[in-house]
Amino acid sequence: MYAFEYHRPTSVKEAAGLAGQAEDTKFLAGGHTLLPTMKLRLAGPANLIDLGQIAELRGIERSGDTITIGAMMKHAEVANSAEVKQAIPALAEMAELIGDPHVRNRGTIGGSVANNDPSADYPAACLALNATIITNQRKIAADDFFQGIFTTALQEGEIITQVSFKVPSQAAYTKFRNPASRYALVGVFVAKHADGVRVAVTGAGSNGVFRLPEMEKALSGNFAAEAIDGIAVATDEMNSDIHADAAYRAHLVGVMARRAVQAAAARG
Amino acid sequence: MTTVSLTVNGQSVTADVDPRTLLVQFLRDNLRLTGTHVGCDTSQCGACVVHLNGQAVKSCTTLAVQANASVVTTIEGIAQGGELHPMQAAFREHHGLQCGYCTPGMIMSAIDIVNRKGNTLDEQTIRAELEGNLCRCTGYHNIVKAVAAGAKGMAQAPLQQAAE
């Protein structure tokens, strides 16, 4: 790991100020992507701004048809939150599928969303649950936030403070995990909202997380697995690697989507 | 250099460290607590698991400075008054190790599992919860038996549990 200056602000304002003053900064959330990347010297920021002591980045709150989660809430905290389990059990279950218990004790929702790893779970939840990404500067709809692998709408020095999810009537997340990394080979998050169904796919796309409008339309008419039986998923924008080629991934998207619909429908 | 102050195995520690010092390096090199191991150094194998504020974490993927003002417990801190912690005793009794390299992390994870899931653990739960700990001797069978027995042992030693 290259040397860096370490900063430990106690407010979002202070953190943003530090990012504005210092050159070549990175924000440190749970560190479970950034620190391994720095250890490999793929990243070497001159200044590391630790968000771990900022109380205003924590908390989980239900308000009407939204549940809002502080950016520094850890995966284990989301998975075990009574509010999340009650409002969106699929979201709690998704958080429980990230990494392993130790990773879930450190990794955060804000870090995952900001990083937009093409195989991460939270981006799919954000799209399917029509989330709003709240930063220290603005509110960004999830549909506008994720812009390709490891690329988001965040500007330099902008800090995610909260992620706000719409509570669906039914939802489920199914994940086919890479058995070694535990990242999604394919993960599909399906959510039924009052204004229609959303289907979001992670792990599969060469351009990161994406929605499947054809499946969404079919499921909005009939929320049942057979409604999407004949819908083929295009292979041209699928990842292809030693773990699964594009055709395999495209097929798996259909399988996982049907399983997610079944699981969501069974939830009643 | 950045000053870090924390409590390790019940003792207050303050040191000036290079900010890039990993928690596991701080424990091993600064404090000479070499029971916590570095296996893969890539957040996968769990040989470096310690408790940070009572929760199991991978100390190879945590900076020492992130543990400022925190309470850390390592494998050296769980035996009380010369008596092995019930989970350590169970690993010995059930031969839950071969080479022993993964054992500190296994035991710290196992205690964390009991803290979260209770004292009666079925095999499926133990195996699922140990997914972040790798044993390259493939000694999982006895590790699973040891964790189940250690979980029961922890129920019979409430004082020791509270101390941990």
Question: Domain residues of chain B, as ranges?
Answer: 2-77, 86-163
pLDDT at B163 over 70: no
ipTM of this predicted complex?
A: 0.94
Average pLDDT of the segment spanning B17-24? 98
Q: Predicted confidence band at B158 (pLDDT cuts at 50, 70, 90)?
A: low
- The answer on A21 and A9 residing in a single domain is yes
Q: Is there a contact between A100 and B132 if contact means CB atoms under 8 Å apart?
A: yes
Residues in CB range of A206: below 8 A, 6 or more apart: A118, A149, A237, A238, A239, A240
Among residues A149, A114, A87, A97, the alpha carbon closest in space to that of A260 is found at A97
Q: Please spell the DSSP secondary structure of B81-117, one letter per residue.
A: TTBPPHHHHHHHHTT--SS-SSHHHHHHHHHHHHHHH
pLDDT at B128 over 90: yes
Q: Is there a contact between B61 and A31 if contact means CB atoms under 8 Å apart?
A: yes
pLDDT at B164 over 70: no
What does the alpha-carbon distance between residue B123 and residue B103 come to, in Å, rounded to a whole number?
18
Chain A contacts to B (CB-CB under 8 A): 1-6, 8, 28, 31-32, 35-36, 38-39, 48, 50, 52, 76, 99-103, 105-106, 182
pLDDT at A131 over 90: yes
Which is the CATH superfamily of the domain at B86-163? [2Fe-2S]-binding domain (1.10.150.120)
pLDDT of residue A116: 97
- The answer on A112 and A17 residing in a single domain is no
The one-letter amino acid at B97: L
A44: closest chain B residue by CA:
B20
Q: Please spell the DSSP secondary structure of chain A, one letter per residue.
A: ----EEE--SSHHHHHHHHHHSSSEEEESS-TTHHHHHHTTS---SEEEE-TT-GGG--EEEETTEEEEETT-BHHHHHH-HHHHHH-HHHHHHHHTSS-HHHHTT-BHHHHHHHT-TT-SHHHHHHHTT-EEEESS-EEEHHHHB-STT-BSPPTT--EEEEEEEPPSEEEEEEEE-TTT-SEEEEEEEEEETTEEEEEEESSBTTS-EE-HHHHHHHHH--SGGGGTT-PPPSTTB---SS--HHHHHHHHHHHHHHHHHHHHHT-
- The answer on A212 and A131 residing in a single domain is yes
Least CB–CB distance from A102: residue in B41, B46, B65: B46
How many Å lie between the alpha carbon of B128 and the closest alpha carbon of chain A? 9
Cα A148 to Cα A9, A29, A139: the distances in Å are 30, 21, 19
Read off the pTM: 0.95
CATH of the domain at A20: 3.30.43.10
β-bridge pairing A184-193 and A170-177 = antiparallel
DSSP letter at B75 equals G
- The answer on A62 and A46 residing in a single domain is no
- The answer on A85 and A12 residing in a single domain is no
Contact assessment for residue B85 and residue B164, using Cβ atoms and an 8 Å cutoff: yes
Q: Is there a contact between A101 and B19 if contact means CB atoms under 8 Å apart?
A: no
- The answer on A160 and A217 residing in a single domain is yes
pLDDT of residue B139: 80
B chain contacts of residue A1, beta-carbon cutoff 8 Å: 20
Higher pLDDT, B159 or A15: A15
Number of domains in chain A: 2
Q: Is there a contact between B66 and A2 if contact means CB atoms under 8 Å apart?
A: no
- The answer on A73 and A14 residing in a single domain is no
- The answer on A102 and A229 residing in a single domain is yes
CATH of the domain at A231: 3.30.465.10
Higher pLDDT, A267 or A258: A258
pLDDT of residue A179: 81
B chain contacts of residue A28, beta-carbon cutoff 8 Å: 63, 66
Fold of the domain built from segment(s) B2-77? Ubiquitin-like (UB roll) (3.10.20)
Tens of pLDDT, residue by residue over A1-31, are 999 999 999 999 999 999 999 999 999 999 9
- The answer on A92 and A225 residing in a single domain is yes
Q: Predicted confidence band at B159 (pLDDT cuts at 50, 70, 90)?
A: low
Contact assessment for residue A60 and residue A83, using Cβ atoms and an 8 Å cutoff: yes
- The answer on A245 and A142 residing in a single domain is yes
Tens of pLDDT, residue by residue over B41-58, are 999 999 999 999 999 999
- The answer on A39 and A166 residing in a single domain is no
Mean pLDDT of all residues in chain A? Answer: 96
pLDDT at A119 over 60: yes
pLDDT of residue A267: 86
What does the alpha-carbon distance between residue B2 and residue A56 come to, in Å, rounded to a whole number?
24
pLDDT of residue A182: 82
- The answer on A79 and A16 residing in a single domain is no
Tens of pLDDT, residue by residue over A201-225, are 999 999 999 999 999 999 999 999 9
Q: Which domain holds residue A171?
A: 58-266
